[in-house]
A = this chain, B = another copy of it.
């Protein structure tokens, strides 16, 4: 895949847009999901020895396993479990890094229903214990990715618990978050935002 270096993704860059499920499938092989972008970015960080950050495996409850002769064990019954933490963590500049990544097809807001209560509890604990914690939010229709510090998420979460809005508006995310430009290498270079905000 060949993306222009340092180019910002936007609706005027159809080759980078992937409105997944939104009707336009013409470019679906050219765009990547947020997860794919993060995995590539983390791989780049690893290869360049910049940070050690991995996605956690999908939690699975294994029920039945077959052990055929002369071949690998096959799991024949298993179920998806809900994650009790965030999806990504690791270490960067001696700091513990911990984050969750979410895409939304919504144009005007990010629904808080995308995040689970126990994940927010986990993120609060990480922050209290001195880790750097945040959310990466992608508006897929705009192909824009934002870094939202966990502290900002907590404010909206607490508002919701007090009967407030069940979402964060796109405008608020633009104001309170930090847009991460697309790049060829380190496709979404969130460590650059961490350098600015925390060091």
Contacts and interface: CB of A to CB of B under 8 A. Distances in A.
Interface in A84-102: 84-85, 89-98
A52 B91 contact: no
Interface residues of A, number: 40
A62 B52 contact: no
A46 B129 CA distance: 11
Given A74-B77, A78-B60, A79-B74, A52 B93 contact: no
Contacts of A181: none
A57 interface: yes
Given A57-B57, A78-B75, A80-B72, A52 B122 contact: yes
Given A122-B52, A126-B91, A73 B84 contact: no
A75 B64 CA distance: 10
A12 interface: no
- Most chain B CB within 10 A, of A56, A57, A79, A131, is at A57
A49 interface: yes
A74 B125 CA distance: 32
A164 interface: no
A130 interface: yes
Interface in A37-85: 46, 49, 51-52, 54, 56-60, 62, 72-81, 84-85
A1 to B, nearest CB: 23
19 contacts: A49-B128, A52-B131, A56-B56, A56-B57, A74-B78, A75-B75, A75-B77, A75-B79, A75-B80, A78-B78, A89-B89, A91-B98, A91-B129, A93-B129, A93-B130, A94-B95, A94-B130, A94-B131, A96-B96
Given A57-B81, A75-B75, 6 more contacts: A57-B57, A57-B59, A57-B60, A75-B79, A91-B126, A95-B130
